[in-house]
Amino acid sequence: MVIVYNFPTKGGNNLSLPEHVCLSIDENIRKENYKSTKLKLYFEFGRSLLRYIIGFLLDIDPSKVIFCYGPRGKPHFIDIDGREPIHFNLSNTEGLVSIAVSLDHTVGIDAERLSATSFDDLHALTLSELEQNSFKRIPDADRGNAFLQLWTRKEALLKAAGTGLSDDLKKYDVLKNEGHKVQIHSHSGQKEDRFFDLNTFILDGSHIVSVAHRPGAILEFVSPSNLPWRCQEQSLQPLETCRASWRYGGSPFFNSEALS
């Protein structure tokens, strides 16, 4: 199972940070590298929420959660007590923090605010030939959001695989949902194939979110009003209930004709 948490941040206003959660030294350094106060707050808010979620799931003090980082910068949880591994990924964009958690398989998540921007200058750099051809069937008014659908799916896929956006985005076709293969180098230096499914959904008509996960995994969504801990007791105020339009197994901006 993959649990997806979505937290609207309302443009950075009225974010109530949890008490008694201390970010690590490296997290505070990363926070200070952001130039604007708003981005610093987004980072602190997202990492605090991530610590609360892991702390709740593993029954440990959120401030005691220790992260390490893979060769491409993906964070991992270190459990010195030998508990079952927990996999997670976080996406922080304007107006939304999204977190995906799984107890049995690596996950990736990416969220972006819907936009009327066409992103034409990025198509040749990021889209496969099949995806670029599919754009010819997309109305001009939808092309910006159609691009964001593909972008979030590719980023979620590569984040799940642990390669990050340093990989060649054009070699991945992510129009369909099932059986996406990512070839990565194992610890022994050999290449190995890993497979993921993708789901994309629209949240509150304002954001598009894509999740990459183990094939066949069940997705469960948690909104701020249904957090797995007692918000008032931890001084973490729920922001609002997410009104989501879930669009499983399909493409919000690409119809079946465009996929053929």
Q: Could you tell me if 230 and 237 are in contact, meaning their C-beta atoms sit under 8 angstroms apart?
A: no
Residue 135 sits in which domain range?
2-253
Q: What pLDDT, on a 0 to 100 scale, did the predictor assign at position 78? A: 64
Q: What is the CATH number of the domain that holds 73?
A: 3.90.470.20
- The count of domains in the chain is 1
Q: What pLDDT, on a 0 to 100 scale, did the predictor assign at position 216? A: 86
Does some domain include residue 198? yes
User: Cα angle at 149 between 145 and 152, to 5 degrees?
Assistant: 125
Can you say whether the dihedral through the CA atoms of 48, 209, 216, 128 is positive or negative?
A: negative
Does some domain include residue 259? no
Verdict on whether the full-model pTM lies above 0.75: yes
Does some domain include residue 258? no
Q: What pLDDT, on a 0 to 100 scale, did the predictor assign at position 246? A: 40
The per-residue pLDDT string of the chain (260 residues; one tens digit each, 9 = 90 and over) reads 888 888 877 654 445 555 556 787 888 888 888 888 878 888 888 888 888 888 877 777 777 787 777 666 667 676 656 666 788 999 988 888 899 999 888 899 999 999 888 888 888 889 999 899 888 888 888 889 999 999 999 999 999 988 776 667 888 888 887 778 887 766 555 677 889 999 888 887 888 999 999 988 888 887 655 554 433 333 333 333 333 444 433 456 775 444 44
